[in-house]
């Protein structure tokens, strides 16, 4: 298990290097960090700034410099606020990780619950209800869901809250926090729950009709145990793959969710950086998010190894 994990970590290093270089080059081609100096009266100013930032070097050299800095925790300075990018990112990461981790867990638990129920009681009334809801959940743009949810739960009924994650400067995890958290997490997850539950239903149906389930039943294994131990464990294997692939979408969803609910996290950081063309923030953001997605993928691979003993051998 440990060697498997170590090998997977080693494999992901070249992926991160190549991906980060391409992202670096793409962001550089799109944004010019000295754009705001183009209007200045002295035409030398922009040129001097370009030389100071090392923008005249070949792109590979620039990337090397950036990487050297990044390893030491220096991601450059925001060209809009002159703040250290690493400080901005570490400030935003806390809120984002809360949303992502809680969101992924909630989505997985609900999707597995719905999927297993719908598969075990296929064609029951509730199965049809879940199917209908999943069609709507997939078709509904998440940002519209967020707006409707604010309208209903915050403005009309005042049950929940929709700005930030805490009231005032509080940082405690109490009822106030929960009231802030429900709607952003729901907005982030609604589409994902809808599609994950369909996958889980399909793979659970496959597992339930497999020979080993029939064998287990024939041997007189209790129904509960057949469903949870024999069928569910196998049905989770394809499910984990889908979950891993969707982590990118989860980060994309953050840009929408944090924007609607005014949460100061990575999504909002990216949104603001794009609006003002803040190169160093966009660059660092893309690469850090890519590393996070690769890490989550790695985690999914390890879970995969736990679920499917055949993988551990290879």
Partner 1 sequence: MRTEGNIGGVEPSPLGSPVGAEPMSTLSIAEPEPVPRSQWQLFRRRFLRHRLAVAGGLVLILLIVVCFGAKYFAFYDKNQQNLLLGPTSPSKEHWMGTDEIGRDTMTEILYAGQISLKIGLAVALVSTVVGTVIGAMAGYFGRFMDQLLMRFTDLFLVVPAIAVLAIAIKFFHDTPFDQTTVIIFVLAGLGWMYIARVVRGQVLSLKEKEFVEAARASGASSARIIFRHILPNCIGPILVNATLSIAAAIVTESTLSFLGFGVQPPATSWGNMLSAAEGNYNQNTHLLYFPGIMILLTVLCVNFFGDGLRDGFDPQAKH
Which residue ranges make up the site for partner 1 (CB under 8 A)?
Answer: 15, 18-19, 22-23, 26-27, 29-31, 135-136, 138-144, 147-148, 150-151, 154-155, 245, 248-249, 251-252, 255-256, 259-260, 270-271, 274-275, 277, 282, 285-286, 289-290, 293-294, 297
Query: 215: which strand partners?
Result: none
- Beta carbon nearer to partner 1, 22 or 178: 22
Nearer to partner 1, 232 or 286 (CB): 286
| Six token digits for residue 200 | 């889980």
Minimum distance from CB of 228 to partner 1 (Å)?
Answer: 27
- Shortest distance (Å) from residue 122 CB to partner 1: 12
Maximal CA-CA distance, the chain? 87
What CA–CA distance (Å, rounded) separates 269 from 166?
18
Nearest-5° Cα angle at 96, 95 to 101: 105
Min separation Cβ 147 and partner 1, Å:
6
Nearest distance, CB of residue 88 and partner 1, angstroms: 16
The minimum distance between CB 252 and partner 1, in angstroms, equals 3
Residues 6+ apart with CB under 8 A from 144: none
CA end-to-end distance (rounded Å), the chain = 10
Nearest approach, Cβ of residue 40 and partner 1 (Å): 20
Q: Specify the length of the chain in residues.
A: 314
Nearer to partner 1 among residue 122 and residue 170 (C-beta)? 122
Closer CB to partner 1, residue 9 or residue 228?
9
Q: Is 240 within 8 Å of 307 (Cβ atoms)?
A: yes
Q: Which is nearer to partner 1, 135 or 212 (CB)?
A: 135
* Distance from C-alpha of 200 to C-alpha of 240, rounded to nearest angstrom: 10
| Residue with smaller CB distance to partner 1, 232 or 289 | 289
Distance CA 269, CA 82 (A): 14
3-state secondary structure of 77: strand
């Amino acid at each position: 298990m440990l060697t498997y994990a170590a090998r997977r970590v080693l494999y992901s290093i070249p992926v991160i290097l190549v991906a980060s270089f391409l992202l670096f080059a793409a962001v550089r081609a799109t944004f010019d960090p000295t754009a705001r100096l183009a209007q200045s009266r002295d035409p030398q100013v922009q040129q001097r700034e370009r030389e100071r930032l090392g923008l005249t070097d070949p792109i590979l050299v620039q990337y090397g410099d950036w990487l050297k800095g990044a390893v030491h925790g220096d991601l450059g300075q925001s060209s809009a606020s002159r703040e250290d990018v690493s400080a901005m990112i570490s400030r935003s990461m806390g809120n984002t990780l809360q949303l992502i981790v809680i969101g992924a867990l909630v989505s997985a638990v609900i999707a597995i619950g719905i999927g297993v129920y719908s598969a075990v009681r296929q064609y029951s009334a509730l199965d049809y209800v879940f199917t209908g809801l999943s069609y709507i959940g997939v078709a509904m743009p998440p940002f519209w869901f967020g707006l409707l949810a604010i309208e209903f739960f915050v403005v009309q009924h005042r049950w929940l809250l929709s700005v930030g994650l805490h009231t005032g400067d509080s940082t405690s995890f109490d009822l106030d926090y929960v009231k802030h958290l429900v709607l952003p997490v729901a907005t982030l997850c609604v589409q994902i729950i809808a599609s994950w539950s369909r996958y889980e239903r399909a793979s659970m149906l496959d597992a339930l009709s497999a020979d080993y389930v029939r064998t287990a039943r024939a041997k007189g294994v209790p129904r509960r145990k057949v469903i949870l131990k024999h069928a569910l464990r196998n049905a989770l294997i394809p499910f984990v793959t889908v979950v891993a692939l969707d982590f990118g979408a989860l980060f994309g969803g953050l840009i929408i969710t944090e924007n609607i609910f005014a949460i100061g996290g990575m999504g909002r950081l990216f949104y603001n950086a794009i609006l003002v063309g803040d190169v160093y923030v966009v660059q660092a953001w893309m690469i850090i998010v890519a590393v996070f997605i690769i890490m989550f993928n790695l985690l999914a691979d390890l879970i995969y190894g736990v679920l499917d003993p055949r993988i551990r051998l290879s």
